[in-house]
């Protein structure tokens, strides 16, 4: 079905899961869209089937906590970051099949706030509050590369795995060739703003033409070829500077974002016109993503919703 304003206005909350006792801090769909994994501040990982609409598994990580959860290229393994305190800032490669850590990735000296899995191979980037971005490979626990960027870094791959972007302090955004990032960025730009921007989330559009970058009070749409700001979305609530996720629809025609008032805001990507506000959550919606394979959206506050 083709996405239109009318289709979006007809969508409603189809299923609500109240399996968590604290905020859901990350969600991710598997590549085939058949599974969704969530991580929460209650130190749990939940796996859901989008086919049956049922929870399949729950795993607890009481020792490390869990954050920034991401599927790898299989449906039975995920990457996640630590959440509990400053004593351990490692990344962990977790088997969902038997609840076993396959590998630890140690090197960051402060909390990891961004995690991006390559869409084409076993490499991934992590960005942390220790002013570093690190390149890893699932097959070895040794760091494969390091870039120093001040402030809170956000890292994102394009959907072909050829380019990655890093947004960091100074309102800067830099684009790199994945195979030769040691040579430095091939494009650097500064996003114009009246105040310093702290990036919280970043994603490429599915066609690779745009980059979506979120802050606590605005979402920016950048042209990935020139770095120019194409659009700015601001009519959402974030009085407490929560980390709110924004995502492209599968056809890139719409942008969806969470909001602290429990709503989900939807805009036309290029015009910035608000199309719809979905209501149904009882708390701040920090995570929201489109299913890559079907007409479905998942969102989370302390509960998880399927639209």
HEC per residue, 13-41: CCEEECCCCCCEEEEEECCCCCEEEEEEC
pLDDT value at 85 more than 70: no
206-234 pLDDT, tens digit each: 999 999 999 999 999 999 999 999 999 99
Give 297: exposed, middle or buried? Use CB within 10 Å, 0-12, 13-18, 19+.
buried
Strand partners, 48: 36, 55
Is the pLDDT reported for residue 1 higher than 80?
Answer: no
SS3 42: coil
Q: How far apart are CA 15 and CA 37, in angstroms?
A: 15
Split at pLDDT 50, 70, 90, the class of 163 is very high
What is the end-to-end Cα distance of the chain in Å, rounded? 15
Task: Determine the pLDDT at residue 39.
Answer: 98
Identify whether the C-beta of residue 45 lies closer than 8 Å to the C-beta of residue 100.
Answer: no
Whether residue 86 is predicted with pLDDT greater than 70 in this model: the reply is no
Quote the pLDDT of residue 88.
81
Q: What is the DSSP letter of 203?
A: E
Q: What average pLDDT is seen over the chain? A: 95
> What predicted TM-score, i.e. pTM, was given to this entire model?
0.95
């Amino acid at each position: 079905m083709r996405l239109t304003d009318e289709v979006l206005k007809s969508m409603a909350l189809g299923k609500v899961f109240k399996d968590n006792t604290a905020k859901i801090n990350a969600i991710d769909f598997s590549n085939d869209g058949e599974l969704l994994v969530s991580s929460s501040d209650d130190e749990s990982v939940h796996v859901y089937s989008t086919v049956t609409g049922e929870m399949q598994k729950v795993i607890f990580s009481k020792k490390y906590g869990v954050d920034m959860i991401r599927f790898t290229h299989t449906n039975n393994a995920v990457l996640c970051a630590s959440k509990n305190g400053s004593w351990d800032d490692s990344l962990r490669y977790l088997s969902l099949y038997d609840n076993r850590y396959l590998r630890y990735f140690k090197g960051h000296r402060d909390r990891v706030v961004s995690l991006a899995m390559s869409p084409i191979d076993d490499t991934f980037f992590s960005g942390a509050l220790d002013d570093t971005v690190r390149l890893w490979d699932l097959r070895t626990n040794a760091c494969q590369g390091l870039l120093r960027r001040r402030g809170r870094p956000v890292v994102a791959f394009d959907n072909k795995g050829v380019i990655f972007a890093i947004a960091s302090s100074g309102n800067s955004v830099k684009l790199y060739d994945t195979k030769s990032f040691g040579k430095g960025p091939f494009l650097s730009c500064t996003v114009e703003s009246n105040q310093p921007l702290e990036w919280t989330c970043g994603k490429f559009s599915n066609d690779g033409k745009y980059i979506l970058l979120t802050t606590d009070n605005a979402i920016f749409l950048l042209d990935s070829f020139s770095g120019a700001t194409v659009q700015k979305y601001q009519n959402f609530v974030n009085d407490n500077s929560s980390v709110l996720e924004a995502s492209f629809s599968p056809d890139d025609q719409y942008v969806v974002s969470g909001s602290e008032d429990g709503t989900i805001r939807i805009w036309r990507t290029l015009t910035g016109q608000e199309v719809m506000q979905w209501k149904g959550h009882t708390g701040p919606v920090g995570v929201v993503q489109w299913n890559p394979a079907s007409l479905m959206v998942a969102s989370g506050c302390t509960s998880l919703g399927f639209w």
